Amino acid sequence: MVEAAFETQAKRETRLQTIGRGGLLVPPREDADELLDLGVGTAEEVTASLDDLWRLNRFLGGLRALTTHLFPRLDLLVEPATVTDIGAGDGRVAASIAAWALGQHRAVRVVALDLSQRHLSRAKTHPVTTSNLSLLQADATQLPFAPGTVDYYVSSLVLHHFTPEQAVALLRSAYQSARRGLVISDLTRGYLPLLGFRLAQPVLARSPITRYDGPVSIKRGYTPDELRLLAYEAGIPHPRIFVHPLWRMTLVADK
């Protein structure tokens, strides 16, 4: 039994080692730090970069890649629900979900969870903050919720911040804890996204922090096939990967 366990672990590590390889249209994965993660920048610079991230999410399909799959699921529920946005940043994606729920007269409580207090503190300045939205400073790798108390865990532009091993652990923890499932959206790694970011940069990425972090994020990203492998390694039995325009992808895992 012990030997079988070691063999299974070895096979798993071998599969994860295949993640991050380059190809004709895909550069090798580079796990470098981003400036926002390092706490770099003044309050004004951080606010400007978070504003950029919201514009990129809003106008380049990130918000839609998430809500296209989340909203129909929430619409089917007849009882109150809780949605937790992992790595919520300044909370504007979470606030958009909360605002939709109020507009649709759905009893949905939304929790914006982020490790960075300086990011969450900016959520209070947004006019879209709603009564069914709460902010929580916590570590995504140690989710502070009892199993079954959160219906859906969601995230946008977060998973690429984690190494393959860390991503597997996060997906496993969130899926096991969720009552109904996961909706995890992120960018895809590739040379075309790098070119696209460069073209969009003058309009949508005005902050020097974003101009540095953008290419780093893309190079840290995963491909759809790699995301599927991460989900399988996390023990998610039937993961579905959806590819969206402008190099976005979404993992949907229903229970």
In contact, 170 and 3? CB cutoff 8 Å: no
Q: What are phi and psi of 153, to 5 degrees?
A: -95, 135
Is 180 among the domain residues? Answer: yes
186 in helix, strand or coil? strand
- Give the single-character DSSP code of 188: B
* pLDDT the model gives residue 197: 96
Token pair recorded at residue 218: 């893309």
How many folded domains does the chain comprise? 1
Contacts of 121-126 with CB under 8 Å at 24 or more apart are 122/46, 122/47, 122/50, 122/90, 122/91, 123/88, 123/90, 123/91, 123/92, 123/95, 126/90, 126/91, 126/92, 126/95
Is 185 among the domain residues? Answer: yes
CA distance 253 to 218: 23
Is 11 among the domain residues? Answer: no
Give the CATH number for residue 104.
3.40.50.150
pTM: 0.92
Is 23 among the domain residues? Answer: no
Handedness of CA 161, 166, 172, 178 (dihedral sign): negative
pLDDT tens digits, residue range 63-108?
Answer: 999 999 999 999 999 999 999 999 999 999 999 999 999 999 999 9
pLDDT of the chain, 255 residues: tens digit per residue: 545 444 555 556 668 888 999 899 999 999 999 999 999 999 999 999 999 999 999 999 999 999 999 999 999 999 999 999 999 999 999 999 999 999 999 999 999 999 999 999 988 776 666 889 999 999 999 999 999 999 999 999 999 999 999 999 999 999 999 999 999 999 999 999 999 999 999 999 999 999 999 999 999 999 999 999 999 999 999 999 999 999 999 999 999
Domain that holds residue 183: 62-189+222-254
Is 21 among the domain residues? Answer: no
